[in-house]
Amino acid sequence: MKLIYSGFYGLALLYSSVSFAVQITGQAEPQRIPLGESITYTLTADEHLADDALDIRPLFKDFIIGNLQITHPSANETVWIIPLQPVTAGELMIPALKIADAESQPFSISVQETNQSAPLSSAEPQTFSIPQENQPPAHLIESKISAESAYLNELITYTVKTAKRADPENRPPVIPDVKGATIIPAGQPAEDQEIFADHYQETLTYQYFVIPNTVGSLKLPGAYLASDKKQKSDEEVIEIKSMPAAFHGSVAEWLPSAGISIEDRWEPQTSYAKTGQPLTRIIKLTGINNTLDQLPEIPLPQLPDIKIYSDGETSSQEYQNGMLISQKTFRQVFVPEKNVAFTAPEFQLHWWNTISDRAQTALLEERKFQISLAPKNETSIPEKSVSTPDKSLIQKIKPILPDIIAAVGLFFATLTPLAALAWYYRSTLRKYYRQHQLWKSLHAACDSGTPNAAYNALLAWASFRWNKPFTCIENLPFAIQLESELNALQAACFQHDDVRWNGLALLHALRHVRPEKKTKDSEKDFEGFIH
């Protein structure tokens, strides 16, 4: 019984698959034509299908496809009417075409050369034959320009589109040399399927950039196919304008562009420098619709007591959305040779905006640096010369040497605790006295609102307090706790001359700074230190 049910189930599935398969019928009229004529190929499906259910790409090899028509005569019917023009003579095969989950049957047609006079069958409709020499050649190439007028050295986009079937080897079109301009290819061609020259066919689109170098009328004679020089696009004429009077720069600085940007960053990212320590300025210059040759070099500045040199240059170029984007990156190294503050100067780049048709300036702002003084090296104290005692004297005191040693030992045994105690109190008093003087200097600088004096006093105070030399306030143990107050101090010292600084806020914040080890002894010592 189970076997019977399984058999019925299989038959049901088979029937379902057969009954629901799309049925395709095709018809080609006429089936014998002279070269240059067209046939009408009709495909009918017994279902209501989407317009893109038919894949016509196999037809591109041997036919030019006319205006495709799609109709739905009934709710369960879809009809495609396809005009086909053969591109070669001989026995041609209309290939099988895939429609949804079904496939049409191939058709054979006969295409004769126009000088042949083979009779057509009476059953076939009579067609007229046009001599090949009187037929206009198929239009297989066309071109266009992005603008009919442009400025000197302005980049112009030149687009050339060809039918893919025009050259079996897919060779690019030939662009004649143009006097007064430079033509640069823009990457690989783009493939598409579209209506081209009144036919639906595959196309290749090539882009070129034209850079005029003379003023006046620039003539582009037109591109032609590598396979057929007679197939040629139309001539293009562009009026080239000279540099406008509103441009801010000189003739040598003339730079037309669709967009210029310039930016920099420093390594390390700090407003302070150390003597002998290099600072690297990385400058990135970007131009839209500019070649690398059009982007200028960034000159090295000249500063006293600062050694400046170039650390290399890199460049890149890419095509995006029909635009040429070029970029240069410069690395400039600044090495301070003396303990003096310096300013990396600004850089201005004048350019002409071809989109808004006006002058613009790209600005690289100046950057101020303060030299962080390194701790001074301690001066070594030369050892005092020790005279060698007379040998005879040693012989004289040798008998009483044990008594002398015993007496000296007793003396030092009594004196050492006293000396240690005295040294402790002396060093402690000196420490607190030094601490008090440093804090007093810091307090006076903050109270008077003198940021530079407060900056140096703060570094000296912290260096003595933590017994560690500090050359910049970013490294202070309490830098995170007092971030806002320290930023205000730096701004007053190095960034803006007109900033008014209130040192009382820094003093108040310093009184609430806690030591790293939160013990009672350390807290007591710290509180005594700042007060």
**CA torsion angle 471 475 477 482 (round to 10):** 100
Q: Please report the pLDDT score of residue 156 as a whole number.
A: 94
Which of 46-50, 228-232, 517-521 is least confident? 517-521
Q: Report d(CA 57, CA 201) in Å as an integer.
A: 9
- How far is Cα 213 from Cα 431, in angstroms, rounded to an integer? 77
pLDDT at position 525, please? 44
Tell me the pLDDT of the chain averaged across its residues. Answer: 79
Per-residue model confidence (pLDDT) at position 531:
46
Structure tokens at 349: 């780049």
pLDDT band at 53 (very low <50, low <70, confident <90, very high): confident
Q: Tokens for 388, please give them.
A: 């060698």
pLDDT surpassing 60 at residue 6: no
Per-residue pLDDT, 401: 64
Q: Are 109 and 39 in contact (CB under 8 A)?
A: yes
pTM: 0.52
For the domain bounded by 141-241, which CATH number is listed? 2.60.40
Q: Nearest-CA neighbor of 307 among 285, 329, 326, 280?
A: 280
Q: Residue 62's CB: how many other CB atoms inside 10 A?
A: 19
| 77 pLDDT above the threshold of 70 | yes
Residue from 383, 400, 367, 344 nearest 496 by CA = 367
* Residue 235 φ then ψ, to 5°: -70, 140
pLDDT at 242 over 80: yes
| CA atoms within 13 A of residue 233's CA, in its CB half-sphere | 26
Sequence-ordered list of residues with C-beta below 8 angstroms from that of 40, at least 6 positions apart, any chain? 28, 29, 81, 82, 83, 84
Assign domain 20-133 to a CATH class: mainly beta
Cβ(165)–Cβ(87) below 8 Å: yes
Helices 483-490 + 503-511 axis angle, to 10: 150
Distances (CA, A) of 259 to 356, 362, 409, 516, 527: 10, 10, 89, 53, 60
Query: Do the domains 141-241 and 20-133 match in fold?
Result: yes
pLDDT at residue 136, as a whole number: 43
Domain residue spans of the chain: 20-133, 141-241, 259-352+359-371, 399-530
Q: How confident is the model at residue 399 (pLDDT cuts 50, 70, 90)?
A: low
Q: Which of 34-48, 114-128, 131-145, 413-427 has the highest mean pLDDT?
A: 34-48
Torsion from C-alpha of 243, 245, 248, 249, nearest 10 degrees: 40
Percent of the chain with pLDDT over 90: 29
pLDDT in tens, 316-330: 999 887 789 999 999
Most confident of 102-116, 333-347, 461-475: 333-347
Q: What pLDDT does 194 receive? A: 82
Q: How confident is the model at residue 285 (pLDDT cuts 50, 70, 90)?
A: very high
Helices H / strands E in the chain, number of each? 7, 28
pLDDT, tens digit (0-9, with 9 covering 90-100), for 493-528: 765 555 678 888 888 888 877 655 444 444 444 444
Residue 153 amino acid letter? N
Q: Which of 157-171, 254-268, 396-410 is least confident?
A: 396-410
pLDDT interval class at 205 (50, 70, 90): very high
Quick count: other Cβ atoms within 10 Å of Cβ 316?
A: 11
Instruction: Pick the more confident residue, 325 or 379.
Output: 325
pLDDT at 480: 84
Residue 83 in this model has a pLDDT that exceeds 70: yes
Neighbours of 168 (CB within 10 A): 9
97 or 284, which is more confident: 284
CA distance 447 to 322: 63
Helices within 355-478 (DSSP H only)? 391-397, 401-448, 451-465
Q: Which pLDDT value is given to residue 262?
A: 95
Which of 67-71, 164-168, 181-185, 197-201 is least confident? 197-201
Q: Per-residue pLDDT averaged across 278-302, rounded?
A: 94
Mean per-residue pLDDT, 479-489? 83
The pLDDT score that the predictor gives to residue 89 is 86
Least confident among 109-113, 237-241, 386-390? 386-390
User: Is residue 196 within 8 Å of 163, Cβ to Cβ?
Assistant: yes
Cα separation, 475 vs 493, whole angstroms: 17
3-state helix, strand, coil in the chain (%, to 5): 25, 35, 40
